[in-house]
Amino acid sequence: MAVRNQPGSFTPSDFQTGVTDCCSDMSICLCGWFCLPCLGCRIASDMNECCLCGMTPAMRSVYRTKYNINGSMCGDFMTMWCCGPCAVCQLKRDINRRKEQGIF
């Protein structure tokens, strides 16, 4: 019998909120607006990484890879470059939602 799926594999998904859904969680939105480096540190802390890594395309790529989210490193770079604050807020919203769902 041929193995068709690897154990533990799952289909790719998307982030649970869009990049421009900043107002869907006002506490994250306000933190991102008034203290973006603080939000980046909170993301890095959630992912057990250095505080300076939270607002980088690499952190976004690591997160996407860990949770099998669609995208590419080039897309992560462009998202962070063009709309960095919104991308950081999106990442934190996704982390919080996965924590609520018990899958973080």
Q: What is the predicted pLDDT for the residue at 72?
A: 96
Q: What is the predicted pLDDT for the residue at 15?
A: 95
Q: What is the predicted pLDDT for the residue at 22?
A: 85
Over the chain (104 residues), what is each successive 10-residue block's mean pLDDT? Answer: 52 89 93 95 95 92 95 96 95 96 92
Terminal CA-to-CA distance of the chain, rounded, Å?
34
Q: What is the predicted pLDDT for the residue at 18?
A: 94
Amino acid at 74: C
Q: What is the predicted pLDDT for the residue at 1?
A: 53
Which residue intervals of the chain are DSSP H helices?
26-34, 36-46, 57-66, 73-101
Distances (CA, A) of 76 to 1, 5, 31, 44, 73: 39, 27, 21, 16, 5
Q: What is the predicted pLDDT for the residue at 90?
A: 97
pTM higher than 0.75 for the full model?
Answer: yes
Decide: 38 and 54 in contact? Cβ < 8 Å: no
